[in-house]
Amino acid sequence: MANSKMESYQGRADDICDVLIVGGGFGGVFCEIELESHMKRAPKSARKPKVILVSEQNFLLFSPLLPEAASGTLEPRHCVTPIRQILRSTQLVSGRVTSINRDSKLATVTDVKGRTLVIGYQTLVLAPGSVPSIFPIPGLIEHAHGFKSLPDAIWLRNRLLAQLEAAESTHDPVQKRELLTFTFVGGGYAGIEALAELDSMSKEACAFYHNVSPSDFRWVMIEGTSSLLPGINEKLAKYSEVQLRKRGVEFHFNTRLVSCIDNVVVTDDGSISPYKSSTIIWTAGQRPSLLAKESRFQVDDRGKINVDEFMRVNGVEGVYAVGDCANVPDPDGGYCPGTAQHAMRQGRIAGRGVAADFGLAVRRPFNYRTRGLAVTLGKGVGTAQIFGKTYTGWVAWWMGRSYHLIMMPGIARRLQILGDWMVGMLFDRDLSELGDLGHPARLDEPVSKVFRMVRK
């Protein structure tokens, strides 16, 4: 960094860097992987930029594998990769960027201990991803859960198992039905995969319960439009629906959730009587992180930052944006969808661009063309659309899994995933309910959660 710049930060910044990356997801991490690869190849005499990556977690979450973590076919730890073990020369700051002053090039960060620090930068890469879109629906915040993070997936698995345990010990059919009613709102990829995986798990689990059968469950999908899985071939969307209907899933299209106070689901479709659903999962869309908008970067009407084919933010020098928060021109026309496969390639293009800014690489435009989409619908069933061809059933399921395995960074992690899958094919699922994990009992409390519940 030029001396004059450093001096201008004196007294105002706790740390300074040449490149600040915000977000340790697909976009941010792959940007850094690319940048580091150019730094490694550069001659010894070349000046290497100091890079800081700020991320809320110290791991990269491989979200396409979340539904499998929720259904127990994959150990949750195996769908994340520790960022510190991917990056070599980059400094990782565990925390949240709360604001960016684009004029003075200062970012304010709240670290994991709640302390505030200010980081000065020369080049900025924005990759904070997206957050669930929520609407002012009565009861939504209090009673619905999202499906976006590892805790969400772990919670959902434990929730299903806890509901099964509770249902096993009741002989009241109404109470049992309520306990085993799962409603998913939003039939996109996350919603459909999570529902399908959980339903598949519940059917296997029932074999180990005496007082619960698959017909005791009620699985409901509420979707605001007339079809599922936006962007996928129509035939495949229909196939997914038919497969799930055969398994007993109810679909309500062109329907909106209007209230879920006390877990009573009310929709705008008068033909669906309000019903009690002990578990409500909200997967009705994502919106870009508000960080860019709040930091006065120009965004479109969806809140995404407009960038060019090199991932440079329009009209602001030295700022890049990638992934779900960015509006990236698609080489086939229009704008790229918010997917991991796009975010990681956009990250690489931004990383190369930043390397080019420091004379370490030649800039390249984004020219990735979507290769395909794959959806898992539970053990052994899926749909896939690859290079324009469509596949269904076991082949599609395996294709989707293989693609995710190849894209997962790190050989050790890939082997662990492969191991989980092989064990899952040969043996029954693990039905241990571990909802107490991360909530150790106080020394003076009984260890068992059941006793703690009885006391309440």
Ligand X SMILES: Cc1cc2nc3c(=O)[nH]c(=O)nc-3n(C[C@H](O)[C@H](O)[C@H](O)COP(=O)(O)OP(=O)(O)OC[C@H]3O[C@@H](n4cnc5c(N)ncnc54)[C@H](O)[C@@H]3O)c2cc1C
Which residues of the chain form contacts with ligand X (CB under 6 A)? Answer: 22-28, 54-57, 63-64, 66, 96-97, 127-129, 147-148, 189-190, 289, 291, 323-325, 338-341, 343
| 12 vs 371, beta carbon nearer ligand X | 371
| 120 vs 323, beta carbon nearer ligand X | 323
| 37 vs 57, beta carbon nearer ligand X | 57
Q: How far is the CB of 108 from ligand X (least distance, A)?
A: 10
Q: How far is the CB of 190 from ligand X (least distance, A)?
A: 4
Q: Residue with the closest Cβ to ligand X?
A: 25
Q: How far is the CB of 311 from ligand X (least distance, A)?
A: 12
Parallel, antiparallel, or unpaired: how do β-strands 382-386 and 389-392 relate?
A: antiparallel
Burial of 324 (0-12, 13-18, 19+ CB in 10 A): buried
Q: Crossing angle, helix 26-41 and helix 340-357, to 10 degrees?
A: 40
Separation CA 22–CA 294 (nearest Å): 14
| 278 vs 346, beta carbon nearer ligand X | 346
Parallel, antiparallel, or unpaired: how do β-strands 372-376 and 382-386 relate?
A: antiparallel
Q: How far is the CB of 225 from ligand X (least distance, A)?
A: 19
Q: How far is the CB of 92 from ligand X (least distance, A)?
A: 11
Q: How far is the CB of 93 from ligand X (least distance, A)?
A: 9
| 212 vs 396, beta carbon nearer ligand X | 396
Q: How far is the CB of 16 from ligand X (least distance, A)?
A: 18
| 69 vs 361, beta carbon nearer ligand X | 69
| 128 vs 139, beta carbon nearer ligand X | 128
| 161 vs 350, beta carbon nearer ligand X | 350
| 300 vs 445, beta carbon nearer ligand X | 300
Q: How far is the CB of 105 from ligand X (least distance, A)?
A: 16
Q: How far is the CB of 399 from ligand X (least distance, A)?
A: 12
